[in-house]
């Protein structure tokens, strides 16, 4: 038990460091794209990235199902079963690699005609080609090794490799832009650097695992494939609906605005996700070993921490995001980035999404794909239908409304599902947590909205950020003392025990 939590601690710590690198580099590169190439090119990059990510549909949810299948043989150190799962995954993802080749060919032919009013056909063609190389390497080489490492609570290997290549890519990309390179050359350099990721993971697994690659390929080692496929397709559509709808029914400038705001909100979501890296593998290990009491106690504390941290971070984000974007796009004049209503809605959407993803790790750990597949289908349908209906009248705000409505549905579903399955968490406890979240955010907003220290400079924004964050932390702590005293006591006991050691 202690060793499992020690590994979880190091995975989470490295994941947080990686997310800090990701956030910093994620802020630098789009800002440079805006400065050197303009909003339309930045929107084009965002759009192509989302369209390339549609290849994840061809993953068919097998990644999640493979991860779930690994937990039991890894806990039993059953090398033969691990090898059977690995060989099946490797063959499957090589097939996906060939499908990706076909999808890339389709994009190269069709996508440039979609936006040919703004960019030359060959400009877009070569940009898609440059951006697609690293995706091919992922499916042909890297993903089967990555799944094994993550399931074995060794995600730190992937995090170290990814963090190093992120830094190298940022430095190389900025230098290329400063020296006048085209966007195609910049993105080609990125793809070539990212080829290092799958190669290093291949080398690590070959040196540290005893895998019998000659075992026969048998799909029966990975169960619930059909339900995993349904879940994955539905969630991939849900994640990509907004940019797809804006690309088809709106403008690339709106895609760029959406990309800048979600650059902030997705960074916060990724930060929270990083803090819980390894939780799925730990929960899967507990479930595989039938440790129901440990599972319930750990998940109860995890649920409280997820809500408390997410509510605090997204309240601060909602208060600071508009002045931040004003600074970030200060010298960009080809689009209006001041859209406060959209800012509020997209912040709320990503808060709900963070809770949704944080809780979904339990469904994956338990392998409850079939039981929950209908809810993911409803979620993706709601997002698509509401976004398409609303985008014509409300533009950016319309797609944000669709995301909020769809994600809220699934969050409520998860709360009801967990009250009757896996951890059997009482509804009353969940509702108490939501009341604490809403109350702490509402009080913080009422107080912090009157803090008006921003005067269009970086230093004034930073000072305002410090004051607003301090207010939100103080209010959040007070509310937690009133509503969640038991959880605070548990955290205090853990810290005291740790200090004594």
Question: How is residue 96 written in tokens?
Answer: 């996906």
- 363 and 401 in contact (C-beta within 8 Å)? no
Question: How is residue 202 written in tokens?
Answer: 């291949």
Spatial CA neighbour of 483 closest among 443, 418, 427, 439: 439
Residue 440: Cβ within 10 Å count: 26
- Cβ-based neighbours of 398, under 8 Å, separated by 6 or more: 386, 387, 389, 390, 391, 392
Does the pLDDT of residue 474 top 90, yes or no? yes
d(CA 236, CA 466): 36
- DSSP assignment letter at 139: I
Question: How is residue 189 written in tokens?
Answer: 């350099």
- 227 and 369 in contact (C-beta within 8 Å)? yes
pLDDT given at position 438: 93
pLDDT grade for 341, boundaries at 50, 70 and 90: very high
Does the pLDDT of residue 441 top 90, yes or no? yes
d(CA 404, CA 52): 24
φ, ψ at 497 (rounded to 5°): -60, -40
Compute CA distances 40 → 33, 333, 334, whole Å.
10, 11, 8
Higher local confidence (pLDDT), 154 or 491: 154
Q: What is the DSSP string of 37-67?
A: H-HHHHHHHHHHHHHHGGGGGGGTTHHHHHH
**What is the pLDDT averaged over residues 235-262?**
83
Burial of 168 (0-12, 13-18, 19+ CB in 10 A): middle
pLDDT given at position 413: 93
d(CA 138, CA 180): 29
Most confident of 3-12, 141-150, 191-200, 260-269: 260-269
**What is the pLDDT averaged over residues 338-364?**
91
Q: What is the DSSP string of 417-431?
A: HHHHSTT---HHHHH
pLDDT given at position 498: 59
d(CA 500, CA 456): 48
Does the pLDDT of residue 219 top 70, yes or no? no
pLDDT grade for 227, boundaries at 50, 70 and 90: low
Q: With the C-alpha atoms ordered 304, 308, 311, 317, is the resulting torsion angle positive or negative?
A: negative
Query: What average pLDDT is seen over the chain?
Result: 82
pLDDT grade for 311, boundaries at 50, 70 and 90: very high
d(CA 128, CA 103): 11
Contacts 24+ apart (CB under 8 A), 291-298: 294/1, 295/422, 295/423, 296/423, 296/424, 296/425
pLDDT given at position 383: 92
Q: Is the pTM of this model over 0.75?
A: no
């Amino acid at each position: 038990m202690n060793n499992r939590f020690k590994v979880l601690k190091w995975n989470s710590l490295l994941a947080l460091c990686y997310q800090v690198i990701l956030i910093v580099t994620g802020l630098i590169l789009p800002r440079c794209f805006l400065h050197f190439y303009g909003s339309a090119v930045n929107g084009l990059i965002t759009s192509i990235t989302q369209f390339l990510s549609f290849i994840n549909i061809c993953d068919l949810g097998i990644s999640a199902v493979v991860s779930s299948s690994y937990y039991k043989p890894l806990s039993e150190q059953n090398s033969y079963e691990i090898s059977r799962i690995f060989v099946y995954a490797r063959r499957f993802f090589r097939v996906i690699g060939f499908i990706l080749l076909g999808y890339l060919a389709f994009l190269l032919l069709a996508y440039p005609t979609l936006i040919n009013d703004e960019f030359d056909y060959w400009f877009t063609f070569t940009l898609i080609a440059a951006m697609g190389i690293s995706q091919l390497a992922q499916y042909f080489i890297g993903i089967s090794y990555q799944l094994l490492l993550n399931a074995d609570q060794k995600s730190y290997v992937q995090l170290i490799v990814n963090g190093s290549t992120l830094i190298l890519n940022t430095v190389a990309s900025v230098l290329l832009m400063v020296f006048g390179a085209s966007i195609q050359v910049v993105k080609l350099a990125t793809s070539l650097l990212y080829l290092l990721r799958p190669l290093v993971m291949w080398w690590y697994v070959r040196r540290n695992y005893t895998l019998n690659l000659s075992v026969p390929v048998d799909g029966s080692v990975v169960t619930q494939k059909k339900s995993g496929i349904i879940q994955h397709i539905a969630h991939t559509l849900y994640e990509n609906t907004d940019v797809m709808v804006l690309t088809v029914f709106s403008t690339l400038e709106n895609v760029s605005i959406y990309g800048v705001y979600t650059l902030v909100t997705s960074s916060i979501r990724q930060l929270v996700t990083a803090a819980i890296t390894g939780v799925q593998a730990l929960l899967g290990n507990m479930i595989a070993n039938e440790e129901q009491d440990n599972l319930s106690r750990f998940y109860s504390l995890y649920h409280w921490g997820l809500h408390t941290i997410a509510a605090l971070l997204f309240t601060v984000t909602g208060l600071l995001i508009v002045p931040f974007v004003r600074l970030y796009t200060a010298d960009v004049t080809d689009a209006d980035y001041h859209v406060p209503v959209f800012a509020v809605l997209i912040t709320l959407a990503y808060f709900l999404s963070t809770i949704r993803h944080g809780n979904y790790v339990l469904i994956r750990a338990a392998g409850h794909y079939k039981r929950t597949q209908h809810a993911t289908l409803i979620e993706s349908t709601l997002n698509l239908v509401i976004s398409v209906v609303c985008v014509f009248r409300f533009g950016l705000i319309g797609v944000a409304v669709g995301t909020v409505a769809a994600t809220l549905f699934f969050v409520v579903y998860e709360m009801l599902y967990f009250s009757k399955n896996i951890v059997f968490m009482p509804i009353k406890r969940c509702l108490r947590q939501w009341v604490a979240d809403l109350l702490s955010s509402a009080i913080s907003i009422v107080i912090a909205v009157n803090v008006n220290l921003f005067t269009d400079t970086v230093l004034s924004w930073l000072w305002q950020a410090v004051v607003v964050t301090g207010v939100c932390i103080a209010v959040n702590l007070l509310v937690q003392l009133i509503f969640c005293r038991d959880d605070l006591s548990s955290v205090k006991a853990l810290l005291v025990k740790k200090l004594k050691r």
